[in-house]
Amino acid sequence: MKRQRWRRRGLLLPAPPPTPFAHSHAALPAVIPAADGWDLYVAARDEAGRAQIARVPLESSGGELRSGDPQREPALGLGDLGAFDDSGVTPACLVSDGERRLLFYSGWSRGVSVPFYFYVGLAASDDAGRTFERVSRGPILERDEVDPFLTASPSVLVEEGVWRMWYVSATEWRLVDGAPRHRYHVRYAESADGVRWRRDGHVCIDYSGDDEYAIGRPCVLREDGRYRMWFCARGNAYRLGYAESDDGLHWERDDAATALMGDEQAWEREMSAYPQVFRDGERLHLLYNGNGYGRSGVGWATPEGDEG
């Protein structure tokens, strides 16, 4: 198990990003290489609490990151009224497919017997990620017998023509103090084209105990022939988790193997959530959210010493 000690570097992007459509939040950071650095995508909410996806350039120099001026219009806006994503869209991961960028995202709609539903959607960009068009107006990972409640937050790798996905799936809604509370963990799916997915319910990261009810936002890298996954797990509050695997199917979980070092700042004292880890040359970077599920913005950390 590879252990990491991440040194806190502070807020990389305060919330909300200065765009006309953003009233609060910069949540669920996702990145992809760009011509002159990286592009960062975050979920910013309007006054009604509906998330749309904002694009922010990241400058990278000497292992340092700096956020630039965000794009004024959403890279991906709300779905049509009545669609699975009419109440919000939040980024999960991005994949380069030739000249196109593919954005895997979670689409949100409001419920009655339960407060919300979300499912995995897919959008594509032919203009270097400035705007995305939906590949389908419906989700690409709808609920079915395998995933009867929710699907969300995929992390996708393409290996020798096989598209591999690690995603969030709910196992139940449970009444707690008279209110419905979701329970979800991380499962696996495969595809030949990134659109049509095969899934059999294989569980990669399961609950550590009955008090843990949400395992969210997996981020998977493959390095030196081994798979590494960062995620967040929630009992009282979200905290970062970590696991490793030889085949991407069977995982060894050890949340203590990843740790944030340095003084904890006020914006992150309540939680650390939604990790995005990426390699920029020789340097790994960790982006994450703190208090309020991204209400405080995007934090940044780098490995301490030669770890990571």
Percent of the chain with pLDDT over 90: 95
Whether omega before 16 lies within 30 degrees of 0, making that bond cis, reads: yes
pLDDT value of position 305: 64
The tens digit of pLDDT for each residue in 147-198 reads 999 999 999 999 999 999 999 999 999 999 999 999 999 999 999 999 999 9
The tens digit of pLDDT for each residue in 235-281 reads 999 999 999 999 999 999 999 999 999 999 999 999 999 999 999 99
Domains and CATH numbers, the chain: 4-303 (2.115.10.20)
Given a cut of 80, is residue 308 above it in pLDDT? no
Given a cut of 90, is residue 49 above it in pLDDT? yes
pLDDT value of position 2: 84
- Residue whose token pair is 């609490």: 49
- Span 122-133, average pLDDT: 98
pLDDT value of position 36: 87
C-alpha distances (whole Å) from 151 to each of 85, 117, 252, 274 are 13, 9, 23, 16
pLDDT value of position 245: 98
- Span 197-206, average pLDDT: 98
- Span 295-306, average pLDDT: 89
Q: How far apart are CA 7 and CA 304, in angstroms?
A: 6
Q: How far apart are CA 29 and CA 279, in angstroms?
A: 15
pLDDT value of position 1: 85
Percent of the chain with pLDDT over 70: 99
The bridge status of strand 258-261 relative to strand 4-14 is: parallel
The tens digit of pLDDT for each residue in 52-87 reads 999 999 999 988 999 999 999 999 999 999 999 999
Given a cut of 90, is residue 307 above it in pLDDT? no
- Span 18-32, average pLDDT: 97
Average pLDDT over the chain reads 96
Residue, of 2 and 134, whose pLDDT is higher: 134
Q: Please state the pTM of the whole predicted model.
A: 0.97
**292: enclosing H helix or E strand:** helix 291-294
Given a cut of 70, is residue 306 above it in pLDDT? no
